Amino acid sequence: MTQQYGEGDWFTVPIGKLGLAVGLVARKPRRGTLFLGYFFGPARRTAPVQDELDRLAATDSVFVCRLKDAALHRGLWRVIGKRERWRHKDWPMPRFLRREGLSGKAIRVDYDADNLTTPERETAATAADATLPEDIVYDEKRLSAALVQLFASEKPMTLDPGHWTR
């Protein structure tokens, strides 16, 4: 049996020994297998209660990306609730940044909320665009790895001069 999901649904993503990450489905086009997700820290041992989820806002997110929905459909990412008073305008569609392989040229990419596969517009990126989310599609393994790296980096970093190179 497949798990159903929609815009405004909260879900959890297992992230190894760190526990769970919490995500929100912010856009789910009528067609296709991609959706836009907002993710929130910190890593948790158990899923948060609805009251805690309803206090979260887009500005609290630590990661935003386009994702494949297979893990949601299969129930690997568990839907845990629905956003109270769901409104698109509270969860904006971000711009993304893509770097061309050989040239290193940076491109700002805009997607329409109903088509997360084909860019609506691509323009030359400016210095201000350097902090935009990366324009890639995450699957369950890539997302888990990215969230593990993000949440693990919340711990104090130790520097090992043995790893430095000249």
Rg (CA), the chain: 17
pLDDT at res. 154: 59
Beta carbons within 8 Å of 10's beta carbon, 6+ residues apart: 22, 23, 24, 53, 79, 80, 81, 82, 83
In this prediction the pTM is: 0.88
Dist CA 54 CA 2 (whole Å):
26
- Per-block mean pLDDT, blocks of 10 residues, the chain (166 long): 90 95 96 95 93 94 96 95 92 94 89 94 94 95 95 56 40
pLDDT at res. 37: 97
pLDDT at res. 159: 42
pLDDT at res. 1: 62
Spans of all domains in the chain: 9-92+136-163
